Structure 1
Amino acid sequence: MSNKARRMLVLLLIILKEAGPTAACSSSCSWSPHCSRIDSCTWCDCSSRGLTSVPQDLPTNITYLNLRGNSITTLNQSDFLRYRSLTRLDIHTNRISMIHNKTFRNLTSLITLWLNNNQLTSLPADIFVGLGNLEDLDLASNNIHSIEAGTFIHTTKLRRLELQNNNISTITADTFGNLLQLQMLKLSHNNINTFPLEALSNLNISSLSELTLDNNQLETLPLMAYDILASISTVNIDNNPWQCDCRMAPFKQKMNGSYEFEDQIRCDGPANVRWQYLRNVNPEDLICEKTTPVYSTPSTKHTGPTAACSSSCSSDCDCSSRGLTSVPQDLPTDITTLLLYNNTITILSQSDFSRYRSLTWLDLRSNQISIIHNKTFHGLTSLGGLHLSDNHLTTLPTDIFEGLGNLWDLRLSSNQLTSLAADIFVGLGNLQYLYLYSNQLTSLELYLHFNQLTSLPAGIFVGLGNLEELRLYRNDIHSIEAGTFNDTTKLRTLDLQNNNISTITADILGNLLQLQTLKLSHNNINTFPVEALSNLNISALSELRLYSNQLETLPVMAYDILASISTVNIDNNPWQCDCRMAPFKQRMNGSYPFEDQIRCAGPANLTGQYLRDVNPEDLISLLVPRLLPRLNQQMQLLVAAAAKDAAAGPQVTVQENVDELVDNQSQTAAAPGADSPHHYEPLRNPSSQQQHTYTSLMPYGSQGN
């Protein structure tokens, strides 16, 4: 073949490759690289195309429609009328705030529906009419606050329901009544304040294998909750504001150390048991602040409402919920604990605590405090806990924490703070817990879940050398500078979930050698952070969450890293089960739970399968197979002409199925930045030398035989 003909052939292949994405979302999008006949393929990829509505010019027989990453705001009844064969519909990461009644009524074959990462606020009763065969429903990361009775009455075959990261506060008894085949229910990161006992009792508990209720507002657990939780193999109820008082006594009595959920109940109150685990609390210490306890045994202690806030109170003075408008000045001067929550105090002055210099715990949450004067807490050098959450604070004096070197628990959440002085936390070397969520902070990037942070500069955490927990979830963080965590060397928990992080560079986590929990789920991370994780002390890391990102492949080194971590979640990523996953697949032996979390999103012939079940021979490259079905008659003629001219120049081998063009007298050119010797890409604008050496589009030997 002449050099000119050879260059024309390669150029045509490149042009055909580049033309691929458009056809994937058009009247001809039923093409798939792994179907033997074009008209038998039923997959349309319309993702990330700026669409504002559902396209109506697609083949009517499609079974998989991918619309994720667009700008759709509303779904109407007519949107899917012509696509009645759909089995999978992916509309996640759009801007959907309205779904009209019976929008999905004709999608009777639909099995999987992704609606996560949108802007839904409620679920009306007839929203899922017609989805009688639906098995997987993902509604995570919306703004859902209400679910009408009967919403799921038509989805009787539902197995997986994801409602995490919303604003749900109540799960009524009839919410899940018809879901008798439900296996997984995720309700974490909401505002649920009461354990949904009746709703769960209406399920078939023997079928339910996973329940997540972590990061809600649960305070107590009824006795019957124990048997329900004990019947479910995977349970997470961690990080709730558990109140270990007399209401928890019946539940505590049932605990015997047999279940993991018993290790997830860490007391947020009362003060006498704060930060203890319920499993370790003496039953006699499960007391109620009111005169009449909810649960009583002969050994249960009671506290009187009057003596608790007077000159006769002991070292602990409970002045909560008394309608106070100022700090009482008639208490013993040597008190160590002062509870002033649920009053109507509006201003704190310099003299308010000057007589109580022995305080180690001060609780002022749920008042109406809008002003704190300079040096209000000056002199409280023994103070370890200061709670100012749920007030009306908009600013804080720059010297507010001056002298509080022993402070280890500081709570400023649920105020109206808009900014904080850069050096406001200087001197708080013993701080371990810092709560600043649900404010309006935009100018200072700090430990602030539920705010609007967009980046983390390098010096943000200077001075916080004893910080152990840092929660930054539910912001809009997209960049983290190198050195951001250099000073937080004792950090054990880092929560960066629900942001817009796309890359975790090698130097971001370098100094966190004591890190035990790293949560990175619900971001846009597209490359597994091998180098960043390798810089950690993997033997210390016990939990890693990377689910719901944009990960497509796993390098072989990732296997050993994941295998070293006891709790791993890499589920719900758009895994591409092609040749890039072959080395990782080769390491899999069924020993670790994460091997069951890799569900293929592509190629089309493997969509929905788990990588563990895929035949290694099917892990083929998408590059050339995407070209072959599009070779038109002109291409075929060109190949035939090239073969006829073979005797006139260097020999060219043309495979029967045109899987690969291999010049037997040349070398292949690896794409710059390729992560393995088997990753090749066509050269753009090849030099004169490269033009004569590059003819292979795939590594030799990867084609089918």
Structure 2
Amino acid sequence: MAVRVLCLLACVAIFLQAQYCLSYMKHDYIDCGDIPCTCFDQYNFDLSGTDRNLSANGTAGDLVPKDTNIDCKSKNLTEVPTHMLSNVTDLRLSHNRIKHLPGRQLQNFSDLYYLDLGFNDISRIEEEAFWGLSRLTILLLNRNSLSELPKGLFSHLINIRFLQLGFNNLKRIPDLNGLPYLTNLAVHFNEIEDVTVDNLPKGMPLQNFVLIENKMRHFPLSLASFFEEHMATYGYLTVVGNPWVCDCQMADLKRVWTSHPRFLTDSFYCDRPQRLKGKNLWNIPLSELVCDNSTDNTPGDGYEVEMDALYSKGQLIGAGIGCFVFGVVSSLVAYFVLILVRKARGRPTAEDSPIVGMVERPE
């Protein structure tokens, strides 16, 4: 009997959930005007005050507008349309050919809370591109060609919670310090070599920080302290795919984090030195985490740059000496061959010439 009751309750729960999901998908298509996009109002059941909204047959009652959506995905657009519904809340512009975001182009769409600009070819964004979007909650800029972002670009996005910057060419994380509600930051597959704590958000606890596949070699102690203080209880930090150099600097990190931090989803796997390549930092004794030539001589380090410069100079000097010696030897060989050929043909050599004979020789 108890099993039947549980099964019945489970079926009722599934039915109610299905009703809710179906209600969420109800929408009315509306006129988009001159833009080649799909526009619709999306509705949801108003479940606030259950007794008031349930009809006599036990189903949810009134429908209330949820979103005004404009879907412009894969429309071969080269710029953001400006003649759009001003009350748009969800704007999707991914998979187009947009290259530039000018200043204040979106300022008339102050109701926007979701903006997807991923999978374009954006290489330049002006500082005031997101001016007026104070309600924006989710911003996707992944899969573009961004190498640098202007200072203050995100300062107007005071309600942003999710920022996606993955798969670009960023060398550093932009200034996000003034974003009190930012809890999810993804900067994976960029070219970030260092993370400045001053640029990171310090408002609500971080839930996700994705640093996968960048070019970081060390994890500063200041960064470790930041995550200890600002990472949420169930937050996640992901660092796999960076060329970590397991030397004395990482030994300092291991002394601070004596065990694997609860919020670190993976680990620091060594890329250099070669003798530690592929090893987990927490499986390496502190005595092996040393700074010497085997670890200092890593790609991008000053030691290697200096050695490469010296090596290049040595190559040039060696090549110059080699060319000089080769030229001298070649000239001597050619000279003696010429003498032999002339003697063989019975012609006078340089020593027998009248010019040489006219030179006074010492007794």
- In structure 2, the partner of 1:179 is 179
Written as runs of structure 1 = structure 2, the 5 A alignment for 1:47-62 is: 54-55=35-36
**Structure 1 220/45 Cα, relative in aligned 2: closer, same or farther at 3 Å?**
farther
Bigger RCO (CA 8 Å, 6+ sep):
2
Asked if 1:102 is matched to 2:104, the reply is yes
- In structure 2, the partner of 1:289 is 292
1:346 is displaced (CA, Å) by 11
DSSP-derived class of the 1:214 partner:
coil
- In structure 2, the partner of 1:111 is 113
**Structure 1 95/33 Cα, relative in aligned 2: closer, same or farther at 3 Å?**
same
DSSP-derived class of the 1:261 partner:
coil
Asked if 1:212 is matched to 2:214, the reply is no
- In structure 2, the partner of 1:16 is none
Counterpart selection for 1:234 from 222, 236, 248: 236
Structure 2: 5+ residue stretches without partners: 1-23, 42-64, 298-302, 316-363
- In structure 2, the partner of 1:66 is 71
1:321 is displaced (CA, Å) by 4.8
Q: Which amino acid aligns with 2:284?
A: V
DSSP-derived class of the 1:64 partner:
strand
Root mean square deviation, CA, Å: 3.5
Contact 1:54 1:72 in 2 (8 A): no
- In structure 1, the partner of 2:9 is none
**Normalising by the residue count of structure 2, what TM-score does the alignment of the two structures yield?**
0.63
- In structure 2, the partner of 1:419 is none
* 2-structure distance, mates of 1:124, 1:71: 22
Contact 1:263 1:279 in 2 (8 A): no
1:255-309 Cα deviation digits (max 9, x unpaired): 222425274200111233222111112212222236xxxxxxxxxxx9999xxxx
Written as runs of structure 1 = structure 2, the 5 A alignment for 1:73-92 is: 73-75=78-80, 79-92=81-94
- In structure 1, the partner of 2:277 is 274
1:397-456 Cα deviation digits (max 9, x unpaired): xxxxxxxxxxxxxxxxxxxxxxxxxxxxxxxxxxxxxxxxxxxxxxxxxxxxxxxxxxxx
* 1-structure distance, mates of 2:289, 2:264: 19
DSSP-derived class of the 2:70 partner:
strand
180-189 or 62-71, which deviates more: 62-71
1:224 is displaced (CA, Å) by 2.1
- In structure 2, the partner of 1:123 is 125
1:83 is displaced (CA, Å) by 1.5
Contact 1:63 1:86 in 2 (8 A): yes
1:114-165 Cα deviation digits (max 9, x unpaired): 1000000133210100101000111111111111111011110001110011
Counterpart selection for 2:262 from 259, 262, 265: 259
- In structure 1, the partner of 2:198 is 198
Q: Which amino acid aligns with 1:161?
A: L
1:203 is displaced (CA, Å) by 2.5
Written as runs of structure 1 = structure 2, the 5 A alignment for 1:475-514 is: none
1:58 is displaced (CA, Å) by 7.6
Contact 1:86 1:107 in 2 (8 A): yes
Contact 2:37 2:75 in 1 (8 A): no
Contact 2:143 2:168 in 1 (8 A): yes
* 2-structure distance, mates of 1:203, 1:224: 14
* 1-structure distance, mates of 2:267, 2:25: 48
DSSP-derived class of the 2:115 partner:
strand
- In structure 1, the partner of 2:247 is 245
1:49-97 Cα deviation digits (max 9, x unpaired): xxxx94599899992100001110123xxx3355210000010110100
Contact 1:321 1:343 in 2 (8 A): no
**Structure 1 257/44 Cα, relative in aligned 2: closer, same or farther at 3 Å?**
farther
**Structure 1 181/270 Cα, relative in aligned 2: closer, same or farther at 3 Å?**
same
DSSP-derived class of the 2:146 partner:
coil
* 2-structure distance, mates of 1:72, 1:66: 12
Structure 1: 5+ residue stretches without partners: 1-31, 36-40, 47-52, 291-301, 306-318, 326-341, 348-705
DSSP-derived class of the 2:255 partner:
helix
* 2-structure distance, mates of 1:346, 1:87: 63
DSSP-derived class of the 1:226 partner:
helix
Contact 1:80 1:104 in 2 (8 A): yes
Whichever structure has more helix as a proportion of its residues is 2
Written as runs of structure 1 = structure 2, the 5 A alignment for 1:623-662 is: none
Q: Which amino acid aligns with 1:243?
A: V
1:247 is displaced (CA, Å) by 1.8
1:633-653 Cα deviation digits (max 9, x unpaired): xxxxxxxxxxxxxxxxxxxxx
For these two proteins, the number of residue pairs brought into alignment is 258
Asked if 1:157 is matched to 2:159, the reply is yes
* 1-structure distance, mates of 2:292, 2:244: 15
1:324 is displaced (CA, Å) by 5.8
DSSP-derived class of the 2:135 partner:
coil
DSSP-derived class of the 1:146 partner:
coil
Contact 2:236 2:265 in 1 (8 A): no
* Moved segments of 4+, more than 4 Å: 42-46, 55-62, 302-305, 319-322
Contact 1:183 1:207 in 2 (8 A): yes
DSSP-derived class of the 1:63 partner:
strand
**Normalising by the residue count of structure 1, what TM-score does the alignment of the two structures yield?**
0.34
Quote the sequence identity (%): 22
**Structure 1 69/253 Cα, relative in aligned 2: closer, same or farther at 3 Å?**
same
Contact 1:43 1:64 in 2 (8 A): no
- In structure 1, the partner of 2:47 is none
* 1-structure distance, mates of 2:266, 2:38: 54
* 2-structure distance, mates of 1:58, 1:257: 48
* 2-structure distance, mates of 1:93, 1:57: 15
